């Protein structure tokens, strides 16, 4: 009962696979049991909605800390634990330790797996030593290490079943995202857009770890798995060399488009959805052209990796509007018809709604009023610029040129929202969005490519919009109207993932360290608790022994908290984050603690 | 109202100093305000008793976590924060960071002081990178760093008022204990008995940091500040060269007797009390003689450092029965007379009661039934062995000789109790004692002295007494009868400091990470909560805004947790602790979190 979407999908899949049980069937069934939290995203749709409602708007104010667990690691704790039956699986930043905790015994450690990684990988992680969580399928826990090693651990004892290397950290290729298991495959992306890494999405065989397919974000059609005729963009075939022809020479070879976000999957369509990152370098003057398919939304067939459709949101990105934010799948009634939607809150400040069956663009609206780099997304299908943002030349860093400091661009490079996932409640029909409310000055400069070295090519500083004091808002968004329903201002950017529940409560964390519960309909704050450290993890919920729990990792870091995490003090360090979030040091220090909440009583 | 002792002492002091306000007056007055926790020991008497009773035996079961704070540091978190008015001061293990937290604002960080220390000091800290807390006086916070730097920080902004070096880490001299402020002096001891360090107690001027006096634990009378005629032991003058004549040659120069425990002070008598540590090396064959004044209880005049009396508990220690455990001062009625008592639970398994005015030995009883190295302490004043333990030769590691593995000695080197302080309740008249329930095999070997290198000279392994599964007990002890009133078994040694309160509740923490509240009269468990990491800190309490809080640092480490803290796996590493506490890894991981508890409601 996690959502209508998955309920209907399950029947579809059961039909398609004609009764053959596979990991996918098992996962879909498990993800429908709200007592568990079997995927890092809660479900394939990335709704992060739970049917549990023991904790509800009426009683959440009485929430208290039920139990806690220190991970033994400091720095940014992203993602969320999994819960499967009586066991919780908790992951950590580098060295990416995994714990299996016994929920029947106050979190006693059933096993611990601490990978041995070359510590040099830390130097090529642009934005903290984060890991966004493990996945489960077929009795195994899948860990994607910072050094790009994908490991299958036996869930019973933590022993290694197989492991495979997905990339080469010496070239700046790293792993920070959570793997996604679909059917008989474990699918992983990569990180490293700040090192000229070429984005990949790669599927490995669940049983053996053997590579099944790999699709690049940029490059020849044979690399991207784009079919010039069959793959469409905004309804039209993309044609041959759709990526390479938008780059100068072979710049696509260091062209970025990393894939380090969250992935969704529609079992009925057999398509997975994700976003590709910024083009490399950040200096737009150095890479003329649209730089396809960076900053794009992708729909790939999970069996073959073939691209069904692709849509580029920010052609020739000039601001690091990396497109990796997650795609939320929902079925909603639009104009009397139930549409299979994909909703995406992009870094560039626009919330996109597409028909996920074919990539038709249904809407794109600003979800922060201060967004100024583009006036709108052209929705005129007959226009030559259909689907493209109408860029304001004053804020075009390419137009202004190298070594020119373009001031007052909103949003800043971190985007109106970063990789911290939204939640969607089918009850309210609203999206709950952790947002950044920040602008920037951006100065591109010429940079040479050296494998494994930063290939950024821009200096920036970030700050709240002039006259505003809050650097973030937690908002409720109505995708049908393209409007903000309510907005809760936050002192700092909201850098944690949201959770919506059937109890009409929405949860999120703050960089100062508060776990907050707000009314799903009104946004009214119903509860807050100061956890040990800043929260950049995603809130999750589960039930055990008839009791609902809400859990979140507390441990400041990530891009927003990189100043604290890496001990940086120069304002432009941390890709501009150090100056913006300098005030965090007055509220919190590094940590690494799982905090679990419940209502009083047994 | 913290205790009768201090109430009466205050009048005495007020009389003695004829109205001149000094830091001592201020501290005594502040320590009588149960809303604050102004000394690491709670009060000068080391009773760790609070007059607060909002949280009591009837409602403590409803306790919940009120707020939390990650210190940003892993490894063993010993000691406890201070609370003075609206500000809490929290310290950390190496690098010994100090935070001032705003209690009016959910623990917002008012200032942070992070010392720059040579990281090489970590290598000469025998038993984790611990720090036992800061002290307050005269508007300053006093921090005693691991590298023996004593720093005065302005409490308002954390700026450094003065700093002074107390020892030389390159010779193994380190600082782990909390300073004590008495009158116009800041007094610090030293650590390093495992490196042949000679113990010192040193007083510095509160205003300037200038050294006022230093008394050694071993060496010539001029060093120890022992007066051959005036200083007594068991009622008799100690005579000339009382220390040096009990050592072979100049072995006293590397003779140990470190002073890294907790210190008490009686304002009326103007005496401070503390214990000196084990003699160096641990190999008794290498250092014939009584090795005075290692493993002794000291009473020093705080103005001059002059020794009023001294009593050696374990002459010629053969088991690392380091004598640094704290001295608890209480006034109790014995045989119809109110006696000024000093009670001390020694590592050697005997609980000593002395008249603190003159060092008269009133009693010495085993507080763990398994203690077997000595049959008793000779209480016959006419005996030539008066006051000495009657050693069982089977367990005499000196008698058995070098390279002989003496088996089954109880207690183990960690003692029946280690440095984790007891609490005393004047309401119940009972001492609440965190105990170890462990035995050992001990094999001395010849070791050469090299400055700054380990000078241990024994290999040991520790384990629960045969047939027992619990490695610890939390006990209530009646000092008048010398008997255990109740005993709560614990799976691991109880390695946290206790707190007694007027609410008839006693608190302590466990190595697995539980904060526990038990009934002061019966020991019945009333509450437990699993904190993020193992607890080796001391529980404290304070009130703010009319609400009582209970706080404890959670972060496993110390000698018991050194395996986890330093990543050791060989059972005999960590001076034998790694094997004994290997099971801890199934319960907890490193951490560093302040956990603050309160009753529900505002």
Interchain contact A217–B (C-beta under 8 A): no
Q: What whole-number distance in Å separates Cα of residue B362 and Cα of residue B570?
A: 43
Q: What whole-number distance in Å separates Cα of residue B510 and Cα of residue B515?
A: 7
ipTM above 0.90, yes or no: yes
Buried b (16+ CB within 10 A) or exposed e, B381-418: eeeeeebbbebeeebbbbebebeeebebbbbbbbbbbb
| CA torsion through residues B333, B334, B339, B341, sign | negative
Residue with structure tokens 């001076």?
B575
Residues of chain A with C-beta less than 8 angstroms from the C-beta of B69? 530, 532, 589
Model pLDDT, residue A334 = 85
Residues of chain B with C-beta less than 8 angstroms from the C-beta of A593? 68, 70, 532, 591, 593
Q: What whole-number distance in Å separates Cα of residue B190 and Cα of residue B126?
A: 13
Burial of residue A301 (CB within 10 Å: 0-12, 13-18, 19+) is: middle
Contact between chains at B530 and A68 (C-beta distance less than 8 A): yes
- Nearest CA of chain A to the CA of B550: how many Å? 15
Q: What whole-number distance in Å separates Cα of residue B471 and Cα of residue B583?
A: 11
Model pLDDT, residue A579 = 94
pLDDT at B547 over 70: yes
Q: What's this model's pTM, rounded to 2 decimal places? A: 0.95
Residue ranges in chain A modelled with pLDDT below 50: 1-20
- Nearest CA of chain B to the CA of A545: how many Å? 18
Q: What whole-number distance in Å separates Cα of residue A583 and Cα of residue B160?
A: 22
- Helix or strand or coil: residue B223? helix
DSSP B289-350: S--TTSSEEEEEETTT--EEEEEESSTT-SS-------EEEEEEEETTEEEEEEEEE-TTSE
- Helix or strand or coil: residue B460? strand
pLDDT at B149 over 80: yes
List of E strands, A57-97? 64-70, 82-84, 87-91
Q: What whole-number distance in Å separates Cα of residue A571 and Cα of residue A579?
A: 4
Q: What whole-number distance in Å separates Cα of residue B80 and Cα of residue B177?
A: 12
Beta bridge partners of B111: B100
- Helix or strand or coil: residue B7? helix
Model pLDDT, residue A601 = 85
Residues of chain A with C-beta less than 8 angstroms from the C-beta of B68? 65, 530-532, 593, 595
Which tokens sit at A228?
């010039």
Q: What whole-number distance in Å separates Cα of residue A426 and Cα of residue B391?
A: 76
Question: In this structure, what DSSP letter does residue B430 have?
Answer: E
Which tokens sit at A10?
């399950």
Q: Is the peptide bond before A281 cis (omega within 30 degrees of 0)?
A: yes
Q: What whole-number distance in Å separates Cα of residue B87 and Cα of residue B104?
A: 8
* pLDDT bracket for residue B335 (50, 70, 90): confident
pLDDT at B553 over 80: yes
Phi, psi torsion values for B393, nearest 5 degrees: -60, -30
Burial of residue B238 (CB within 10 Å: 0-12, 13-18, 19+) is: buried
Buried b (16+ CB within 10 A) or exposed e, A63-83: bbbbbbbbbbbbbbbbbbbbb
Contact between chains at B588 and A70 (C-beta distance less than 8 A): yes
User: Distances in Å between the alpha carbon of A570 and those of A460, A463, A574?
Assistant: 12, 15, 9
Return the residue of A nearest to B601 by Cα. Answer: A62
Contact between chains at B109 and A586 (C-beta distance less than 8 A): yes
CB B194 within 8 A of CB B455: yes
- The CA-based angle B123-B127-B131, given to 5 degrees, is 90
- Nearest CA of chain B to the CA of A583: how many Å? 10
User: Does the active-site annotation cover A320?
Assistant: yes
Interchain contact A529–B (C-beta under 8 A): yes
- Helix or strand or coil: residue B277? coil
Long-range CB pairs of A349-354 (<8 Å, 24+ gap) are A349/A373, A349/A374, A349/A410, A349/A411, A349/A415, A349/A416, A350/A313, A350/A374, A350/A377, A350/A389, A351/A431, A351/A433, A351/A477, A351/A479, A351/A482, A352/A297, A352/A313, A352/A377, A353/A479, A353/A482, A354/A297, A354/A311
Q: Is the peptide bond before A293 cis (omega within 30 degrees of 0)?
A: yes
User: Distances in Å between the alpha carbon of B183 and those of B8, B23, B28, B150, B207?
Assistant: 17, 5, 10, 17, 11
Contact between chains at A587 and B112 (C-beta distance less than 8 A): no
- Helix or strand or coil: residue B260? coil
Residue B71 CA to its chain's centroid (Å)? 22
- Nearest CA of chain B to the CA of A589: how many Å? 5
- Nearest CA of chain A to the CA of B543: how many Å? 19
Q: Is the peptide bond before B81 cis (omega within 30 degrees of 0)?
A: no
Nearest neighbour of A532 by CB, restricted to B68, B112, B586: B68
Task: Return the number of CB contacts < 8 Å for A and B.
Answer: 101
* pLDDT bracket for residue B21 (50, 70, 90): low
Q: What whole-number distance in Å separates Cα of residue A252 and Cα of residue A287?
A: 9
Neighbours of A381 (CB within 10 A): 11
Which tokens sit at A264?
């969704």
Q: Over the stretch B394-441, which tens digit does the pLDDT of each residue have?
A: 999 999 999 999 999 999 999 999 999 999 999 999 999 999 999 999
Which tokens sit at A510?
């703050």
Report CA dihedral (B238, B240, B246, B249) to the nearest 10 degrees.
170
Contact between chains at B107 and A530 (C-beta distance less than 8 A): yes
Neighbours of B44 (CB within 10 A): 27
Phi, psi torsion values for A31, nearest 5 degrees: -70, -15
Q: What whole-number distance in Å separates Cα of residue A21 and Cα of residue A23?
A: 7
Interchain contact A379–B (C-beta under 8 A): no
Helix H, strand E, coil C: the string for A97-137 is CEEEEECCCCCEEEEEECCCCCHHHHHHCECECCCCCCEEE
Interchain contact A92–B (C-beta under 8 A): no
Q: Over the stretch B338-378, which tens digit does the pLDDT of each residue have?
A: 999 999 999 999 999 999 999 999 999 999 999 999 999 99
- Helix or strand or coil: residue B144? strand
Q: What whole-number distance in Å separates Cα of residue B44 and Cα of residue B28?
A: 8
């Amino acid at each position: 009962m996690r959502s209508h979407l998955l309920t209907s999908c399950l029947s579809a899949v059961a039909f398609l696979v004609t009764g053959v049980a596979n990991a996918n069937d098992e996962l879909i069934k498990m993800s429908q049991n709200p007592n568990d939290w079997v995927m890092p995203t809660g479900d394939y749709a990335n709704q992060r909605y739970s049917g549990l409602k023991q904790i509800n708007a009426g009683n959440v104010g009485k929430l208290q800390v039920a139990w806690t667990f220190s991970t033994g690691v400091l720095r940014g704790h992203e993602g969320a634990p999994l819960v499967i039956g009586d066991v919780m699986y908790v992951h950590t930043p580098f060295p990416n330790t995994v714990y299996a905790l016994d929920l029947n015994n106050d979190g006693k450690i059933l096993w611990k797996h601490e990978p041995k990684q070359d510590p040099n990988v830390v130097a090529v992680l642009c934005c903290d030593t984060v890991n966004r969580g493990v996945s489960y399928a077929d009795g195994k826990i899948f860990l994607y290490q910072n050094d790009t090693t994908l490991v299958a651990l036996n869930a019973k004892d933590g022993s290694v079943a197989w492991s495979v290397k997905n990339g080469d950290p010496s070239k700046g290729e790293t792993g920070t995202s959570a793997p996604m298991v679909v059917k008989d495959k474990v699918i992983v992306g990569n990180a490293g857009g700040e090192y000229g890494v070429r984005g990949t999405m790669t599927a490995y065989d669940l049983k053996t770890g053997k590579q099944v397919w790999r699709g690049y974000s940029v490059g020849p059609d044979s690399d991207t798995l784009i079919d010039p005729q069959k793959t469409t963009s905004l309804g039209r075939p993309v044609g041959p060399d759709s990526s390479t022809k938008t780059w100068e020479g072979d710049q696509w070879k260091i062209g970025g488009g990393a894939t380090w976000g969250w992935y969704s999957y529609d079992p009925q369509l057999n398509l997975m959805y994700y976003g590709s990152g910024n083009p490399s370098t950040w200096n737009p003057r150095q890479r003329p052209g649209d730089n396809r398919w960076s900053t794009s939304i992708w729909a790939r067939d999970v069996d073959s990796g073939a691209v069904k459709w692709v849509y580029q949101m920010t052609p020739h990105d000039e601001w690091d509007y990396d497109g990796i934010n997650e795609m939320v799948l929902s079925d909603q009634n639009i104009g009397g018809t139930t549409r299979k939607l994909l909703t995406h809150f992009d870094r560039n400040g626009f919330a996109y709604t597409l028909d996920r069956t074919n990539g038709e663009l249904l809407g794109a609206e600003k979800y922060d009023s201060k967004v100024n780099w583009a006036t709108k997304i052209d929705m005129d299908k007959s226009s030559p610029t259909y689907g493209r943002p109408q860029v304001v030349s004053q804020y075009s860093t390419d137009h202004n040129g190298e070594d020119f400091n373009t001031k007052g661009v909103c949003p800043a490079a971190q985007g109106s929202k970063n990789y911290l996932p939204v939640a969607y409640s089918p009850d309210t029909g609203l999206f709950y969005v952790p947002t950044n409310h920040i602008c920037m000055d951006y100065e591109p400069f010429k940079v040479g490519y050296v494998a494994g070295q930063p290939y950024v090519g821009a200096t920036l500083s970030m700050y709240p919009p002039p006259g505003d004091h809050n650097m973030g808002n937690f908002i409720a968004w109505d995708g049908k109207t393209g409007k903000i329903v309510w907005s809760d201002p936050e002192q700092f950017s909201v850098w944690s993932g949201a959770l919506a529940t059937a109890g009409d409560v929405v949860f999120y964390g703050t960089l100062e360290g508060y776990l907050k519960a707000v009314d799903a309909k009104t946004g009214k704050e119903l509860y807050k608790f100061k956890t040990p450290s800043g929260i950049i993890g995603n809130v999750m919920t589960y039930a055990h022994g008839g009791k609902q729990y809400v859990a979140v990792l507390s441990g400041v870091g990530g891009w927003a908290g990189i100043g604290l995490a890496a001990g940086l003090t120069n304002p432009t360090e941390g890709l501009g984050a150090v100056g913006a979030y300098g005030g965090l040091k007055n509220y919190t220090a590094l940590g690494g603690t799982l905090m679990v909440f419940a209502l009083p009583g047994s």
